[in-house]
Amino acid sequence: MCGIIGISSNKPVSGNIINSLKKLEYRGYDSAGIATLFEGEIKEVKSEGRVDSLEQNFDLKNLKGNIGIGHVRWATHGVPNSVNAHPHSSHNVSVVHNGIIENSTILKKYLISKGHNFKSQTDTEVIVHLITENLKTSELEIAITKTLEQLHGSFALGIVFKEMPDLIVGARRGSPLAVGYGPNENYLGSDSYALKAMTNKITYLEDGEFCLIKKNQVLFFNEDGKKINKKILELSSDEANYEKGDFKHFMAKEIEEQPVTIKTGIKEYIDRTNSDINIYNFPWKISEINSITLIGCGTAYHSCLMSKYWFEELTQLDVSIDIASEFRYRKNRFKKDTLYIFVSQSGETADTYAALDLCNKNNMKTCAVVNVIESSIARDANFILPIHCGPEIGVASTKAFLGQILILYILVLKLGSLRNEITKEIYQEKIKDLQSLPSLIEKSLLIDNDIQAISSTFNDAKGSMFLGRGFSYPIALEGALKLKELSYVHAEGYPAGEMKHGPLALIEDGMPVVVLAPRDSYYKKTISNMQEVIARGAKVLLITNKSKDEIFSENIWETIEVENTNDDLLPFLLTIPLQKLAYYSALKKGYDIDKPRNLAKSVTVE
């Protein structure tokens, strides 16, 4: 959450800072700002809203300086306005910050007593004054170490100093931060995406580390202030993935990319010649694992729930799932025979990372199912299963969800087979069925006309419900999440069998209800629940799979049929109409689809 860029160069930097901030906007778009150093002065420009507003409000071509820092904000402390926008500066220090300083109130009191004046409502401003205060009595590196020690909470920082005209300091605790290397210039960025247009040579800071970046030199230090050496990684170039191409929105592009996501996942993990799954190098003995705990947030949590159904159906493993923000603060009974699986697109979600860290500290077996393989979660788990779906830019997760559930399904099959709980025949049959999934998804994507017409009803409604049983229940939750986050319509996902226990009271004449009833083992039960809501006036959109059998129910408002496949794989196909429903609802309302209000792509604060 929030994006940071810093450049120390031998030429003016404001143009590249602006370009990087535009790339970082997916992390936060409440306000934007830049500070450069020019002729011994800190020059600061800040604006409420997007980077475009910053460009409209200031003549950025005239923002001179060969060194600068920039920020896009997702507000935590203080309303989103230009005063609270970053950078925050004192007479000699300017700071950009991602994260939250938990002891900011105490520090602020102390700094006011020392004569410092505060302009904003942010926690970040205490960092500015704390460094200013510590620089009065200490040399730079000691002042930095001391400041970092005094801060409680999480941060990624970029700092410039009036008296050090070619230096940027970067520091990390909790929030990710990367350093990039270019010709006669070096960079600081909250992720590699911000830096990719300028360099593919990257070093990631670990928690507690800080760095001094000059145009021709980068030095790294550990939390005790001791100099350390760090590796430079070379990132692969996949620029095309960062462009919208002919699509109106990244979300539309990412929905349509799903057959490729699945094809790539299958190519990476399935050995077609031997009808086997290429996951061999587990760092533990499979016989040591008797239970699985899956942890994630939002859509990633829905992936965890989806896989629980598959694990229980196909293996004898005990499976529990947890929302990361709950797991990290509960009294957990850590068990040596449990495999803890962390699911995350970004690999930087603060709560998911903290849950992983907790498991690592308790010497648990940890595995990450992530998309960004350079991320903190990927680097710190014992074992990683990449999703390989390419960059996901739209804030609403679509292709990463299908990528996550694919990898988890493959893992279920592999563990079931290794534990002799899935017979060889069934294992190979299920691997074979997977091969047809990309083309089934491709066909299921051809529903735009139907969905566009249906979406208006959801937009006009007070609220809506998404119902499913068994394998379809996690998909109902995911469909409701997509609709609420994109079109700001109240939407609830429910197990269809729960309706009578309370939520049925919400059903009134004309209320749109999505019922996921594929012809699997739950079909008849779900159809009964559907009839109960129809009887109370609901306008039911039934999503099922193609079949010769007639649907025995009257008064269904609309029906969408996805392709047919085995029961395990139907959730992949049912997801598609729900993603498109959310997309077209938001499109009709004219909302910002790739950047829904109040949200950001990578949630690096808890």
CB of 349 to ligand F6R, least distance (A): 3
Residue 485 found at the interface with ligand F6R (CB under 6 A): yes
Residue 251 found at the interface with ligand F6R (CB under 6 A): no
Binding part of the chain for ligand F6R, among 41-49, 114-122, 291-299, 458-466 by CB under 6 A, reads 291-299
DSSP string, 145-168: HHHHHH--EEEEEEEEETTEEEEE
Among the listed residues 143, 292, 396, 507, the single contact to ligand F6R using CB under 6 A: 396
Binding part of the chain for ligand F6R, among 20-28, 295-303, 425-433, 500-508 by CB under 6 A, reads 295-303
Report the residue number, 168 or 387, with the smaller CB distance to ligand F6R.
387
Nearest-angstrom CA–CA distance, 600 and 395: 6
Q: How far is CA 247 from CA 89, 174, 226, 231, 243, in A?
A: 40, 35, 49, 38, 9
Helices (DSSP H) in 419-472: which residue ranges? Answer: 424-435, 437-444, 448-460
Residue 477 found at the interface with ligand F6R (CB under 6 A): no
Among the listed residues 90, 132, 344, 529, the single contact to ligand F6R using CB under 6 A: 344
- Do residues 27 and 600 lie in contact, with contact meaning Cβ atoms separated by under 8 Å? yes
Count other C-beta atoms under 10 Å from residue 588's C-beta.
15
Query: Binding-site residue total for ligand F6R (CB under 6 A)?
Result: 15
Binding part of the chain for ligand F6R, among 171-179, 194-202, 292-300, 576-584 by CB under 6 A, reads 292-300
Report the residue number, 427 or 583, with the smaller CB distance to ligand F6R.
583
Residue 376 found at the interface with ligand F6R (CB under 6 A): no
- Do residues 205 and 172 lie in contact, with contact meaning Cβ atoms separated by under 8 Å? yes
Binding part of the chain for ligand F6R, among 71-79, 279-287, 296-304, 416-424 by CB under 6 A, reads 296-304
Residue 575 found at the interface with ligand F6R (CB under 6 A): no
Residue 444 found at the interface with ligand F6R (CB under 6 A): no
CB of 193 to ligand F6R, least distance (A): 13
DSSP string, 296-352: E-HHHHHHHHHHHHHHHHH---EEEEEEHHHHTTS-----TTEEEEEEESSS--HHH
Among the listed residues 179, 297, 321, 515, the single contact to ligand F6R using CB under 6 A: 297
Active site residues: 2, 601
In the bound state, the residue with its beta carbon closest to ligand F6R is 298
Nearest-angstrom CA–CA distance, 557 and 518: 17
Closest CA to 226 of 253, 208, 243: 208
Report the residue number, 181 or 591, with the smaller CB distance to ligand F6R.
591
Residue 298 found at the interface with ligand F6R (CB under 6 A): yes
Residue 346 found at the interface with ligand F6R (CB under 6 A): yes
Residue 352 found at the interface with ligand F6R (CB under 6 A): yes
Contact code string over 148-177 relative to ligand F6R, x by CB under 6 A: ------------------------------
Binding part of the chain for ligand F6R, among 16-24, 227-235, 339-347, 490-498 by CB under 6 A, reads 339-347
Residue 410 found at the interface with ligand F6R (CB under 6 A): no
Residue 254 found at the interface with ligand F6R (CB under 6 A): no
Phi, psi values for residue 183, rounded to 5°: -75, 120
* Angle at CA of residue 129, ends 168 and 34, nearest 5°: 45
Which residues lie closer than 8 Å to 347 by C-beta, 6 or more apart?
368, 370, 371, 372, 373, 374, 375, 376, 377, 378
Report the residue number, 481 or 538, with the smaller CB distance to ligand F6R.
481
Phi, psi values for residue 108, rounded to 5°: -65, -45
Which residues lie closer than 8 Å to 94 by C-beta, 6 or more apart?
35, 42, 44, 69, 87, 88, 128, 159, 160, 161
CB of 572 to ligand F6R, least distance (A): 17
Residue 397 found at the interface with ligand F6R (CB under 6 A): yes
Structure tokens that stand for 155 in this block? 């941060």
Nearest-angstrom CA–CA distance, 75 and 551: 49
Which residues lie closer than 8 Å to 207 by C-beta, 6 or more apart?
172, 173, 174
Residue 375 found at the interface with ligand F6R (CB under 6 A): no
Q: What's CA 595's distance to the chain center, in Å?
A: 13
Residue 98 found at the interface with ligand F6R (CB under 6 A): no
Report the residue number, 120 or 585, with the smaller CB distance to ligand F6R.
585
Residue 47 found at the interface with ligand F6R (CB under 6 A): no
CB of 401 to ligand F6R, least distance (A): 8
Structure tokens that stand for 567 in this block? 């029961």
CB of 372 to ligand F6R, least distance (A): 8
Residue 434 found at the interface with ligand F6R (CB under 6 A): no
From edge to edge, which strands make up the β-sheet containing 164-173? 88-89, 93-101, 153-161, 164-173, 210-214, 217-221, 227-228
Among the listed residues 603, 604, 605, 606, the single contact to ligand F6R using CB under 6 A: 603
- Do residues 485 and 394 lie in contact, with contact meaning Cβ atoms separated by under 8 Å? no
Binding stretches for ligand F6R (CB under 6 A):
297-300, 344-346, 349, 352, 396-397, 481, 485, 602-603
